[in-house]
A and B are shown apart, each in its own frame.
Chain A
Amino acid sequence: MSVLHYRDVGVNFGGVHALHGVSFDVQSGHVVGLIGPNGAGKTTLINVTTGVVAPTTGSVTLDDMPLSGRRQYQIARVGVARTYQNIRLFPRMTAIDNVVVGATRIRHDPDLGAFVFLPSVRRARIELQEHARYLLHRVGVPRDEWDTVASVMPYGSQRRLEIARALAMRPRVLLLDEPAAGMNPAETANLQALIRSIAKEDVAVMLVEHDMPLVMGTCDQVAVLNFGELIATGTPAEVSRDPAVVEAYLGSEALP
C-alpha cells in the first residue's frame, strides 16, 4: 500500500505560474483522473513527478520518500512509470525489445554473466521476452506486430506499447498522459478495462485525459486543474456537479 503525495507543488517558468499550490494524493489501487483545459499544467505535474522538471515550491513524496530533487532515472528506479502524450518509444527497436528495456528496473541478471554464457542469464532473457509477450498481449498489441520495429507500428499500437513498456517496470505508480488520444470508442473501452485491471494490482494510477466518458468511467477520484491551480477534487460525480468545474472547464453544458 503506497501513496503518492503532492504537497503545495508549484512550478514557475520564468514569470509564468505553470503550477501553484497543488496538493492531493494518489493511493495505490486507485485511479485518479487529472483533467483541465489545455495549458492547465497537467503534463507539467507529470514532469514534476518524474523529475523532468524540479518543483519551485512544495514536494512530491512516494510514501515517505521525497521524489522532488531526485534525477529522472532515480525516480524511475523506485517504481514511477509514465507514458508520453507525444509517443516516445525506442523507434528502431521491436515492440518486444521496447518492453524489455521497460523491465530494466527489475532486472538482476549479472552483467558479466553473458560473457561466460551463464545459463541463468539465458533463462532470464527468455523470461524477459516471455513477460514482454504477455504484456503486449495484455495491452492488446496484435501478435503480428510484436517483432515489428516500433516506428512503423500503427498509431494505436504505439500507444498501447507505451503502456506495456511502463508495466514492464512493475511500477508502484503509473502516470498515463492522454493514453486514449487517437483511439476509437471500442479501443477506448478496452483501455478503460485495462486501466482498472492495472489499478487492481495495487498500482497508484494517475490518468491525464481529455476523453470525459473515459475519465468519469475509470477514475475513483478526479482532480481538476485550471491555470495551474487545483480547483476541485472528488469523485467523478462530485466533480461533475461542482459549479467551478462546470464554469472553468466544461462550459455551461452538462456532462453526458
Chain B
Amino acid sequence: MEWLVHFYALHSKLIDQVGINAIFALSLSITLQAGHLALANAAFGGIAAYVASLLSIARGWPLSVTTLIGAAAAALVGAAVGWPVTRLRGVYLAIATIGFGEIALIVENNLSITGGAEGLSQIPNQTTTWKIYLVLAVLAFIFWRLRRTRAGWAIAAVREDEHAAASFGIDPTRVKFWTFVASAAIAGVAGSLYAHENFFIAPGDWGFSRMVDILVYCVIGGAASPWGAMLGAGIISLLPEVFRFLHDYRDIVNGVVLLAVVIFAPQGLAGLWARDRRGRKATPPGAAEAQGS
C-alpha cells in the first residue's frame, strides 16, 4: 500500500496524462467506428479548453460546470462544421477537418481573449486523477452499452457498408453527423481536463501534431474498438517513459515498436485479440488467407 502511494506520488502527472489521452482516443474512436476519418479532435479539444479556462479564470466556476459548457461549445461548433463536412467522404473529409483545425489555430493565435500566441495562463488547477478516471469510466460504460443499442448497430453498419446500411433504413448522413458531434463533445471534455491540469494552454497544444498523436492511439490500439483506443492511448503515452533508460535512443526504439505493431497487427492490438477469439470458433479453412487479402 505504501508502495502504491509512493508510486502515485512519483507518477501522478503521467497517470493523469494517460487518462486524458485515453479520453481523446475515445473521441476519435467514435467517428472511426462509423467508418469516417475526421481529424479535428485536437481543435475541438482546444475550443473547449479555451471556453472552460476563460470561465474558470473569470468566474471561478467548478470544473464540472466549465467542462460541460466547454464540451457543449465544442459540440455546437462541431455541429456547424459537421453539417457540411460529414457529407464528404474518405480523404476529402480528412482534408476538410484538418483545414478546420488550422483555422481554429489561426483564430486562437489572433484573438486577444485567448491570449494570442502567448496562450492563457493561471488556469486553476482543478483536474484531479479521480475526476479524469471517473469521466473515462463513464465514457467506457457508454461505449460498451452503445453497441447494444440501435444507434450502435447503425454506426457499425455504416462503417461496414454505407450504401447497404441505407437500404436497410439507416440514414448514413445522420449517423456520420451525430458521431461527429459526439466526437467533438468528448474531445472537448478531454481538452478542458487538460487545461485544468496544466495551468497553461496555448494554440500550439491543439495543433496537427496532437491530432496525429490521437490518431496513433487509435491505429495502434485498433481503429474501430473503444477498448483498443484506450489501450493504444495507454501504451503510446507510457512507451517513452518505459524507454527512458535508453536516453538518446528512446525515440528510435519508440518508432520501431510502433512500426512493428503496424506491420504485425494491422488491425491494431485489439484486432489481435479479436482474431484470436474468432480463431477458437470454427473458422472455415482459408479464412485466414481471405482475411489477410
Contact = CB atoms under 8 A, between A and B. Distances in A.
A125 B152 CA distance: 13
Interface in B117-174: 141-142, 145-146, 148-154, 156-157, 160-161, 163-172
B207 to A, nearest CB: 33
Contact of B164 (A77, A90, A147, A149): A90
B164 to A, nearest CB: 4
B153 A76 contact: no
Contacts of A91: 160-161
Nearest to B278: A149
A105 B160 contact: no
B169 A76 contact: yes
Contacts of A165: 168
Contact of A114 (B148, B160, B291): B148
Which of A100, A104, A107, A113 counts the most B-chain CB atoms under 10 A from its CB? Answer: A104
A144 B281 CA distance: 9
B165 A101 contact: yes
Contact of B157 (A72, A84, A101, A113): A101
The majority secondary structure among interface residues of chain B is helix
B287 interface: yes
Interface string B261-293: 000000000000000001001111011001100
Contacts of B166: 71-73, 76
Nearest to A169: B168
A111 B150 contact: yes
B164 A73 contact: no
Contact of A147 (B150, B168, B281): B281
A125 B156 contact: no
Interface residues of A, number: 42
A232 B87 CA distance: 42
A33 interface: no
A153 B151 CA distance: 27
B284 A111 contact: no
A154 B161 CA distance: 19
B24 to A, nearest CB: 23
A151 interface: yes
A104 B286 contact: no
Contacts of B287: 148-149, 152
Interface residues of B, number: 34
A121 B148 contact: yes
B283 A111 contact: no
B168 A101 contact: yes
A123 interface: no
A115 B142 CA distance: 7
A89 B154 CA distance: 14
A238 interface: no
A145 interface: yes
A102 interface: yes
Contacts of A138: none
A93 B98 CA distance: 31
Interface in A82-134: 82, 84, 88-93, 97, 100-102, 104-105, 107, 109, 111-115, 121, 125
B291 A93 contact: no
Contact of B168 (A93, A105, A149): A105
B271 to A, nearest CB: 10
A73 B154 CA distance: 12
B282 A151 contact: no
Given A100-B153, A111-B150, A115-B145, A82 B167 contact: yes
A59 interface: no
Contacts of B283: 148, 152
Contacts of B160: 90-93
Nearest to B146: A114
A169 B169 contact: yes
A50 interface: yes
Contacts of A125: 148
A77 B281 contact: no
B142 A148 contact: no
Nearest to B289: A152
Given A104-B150, A115-B149, A149-B287, 7 more contacts: A52-B163, A71-B171, A72-B167, A76-B167, A93-B156, A101-B156, A148-B281
13 contacts: A71-B166, A72-B166, A73-B167, A81-B167, A88-B163, A91-B160, A105-B169, A109-B150, A111-B151, A125-B148, A148-B283, A148-B284, A165-B168
Interface of A: 50, 52, 71-73, 76-77, 81-82, 84, 88-93, 97, 100-102, 104-105, 107, 109, 111-115, 121, 125, 144-145, 147-149, 151-154, 165, 169
8 closest cross-chain pairs (CB), A and B: A90-B160, A114-B148, A76-B169, A72-B166, A152-B287, A77-B169, A88-B164, A105-B169
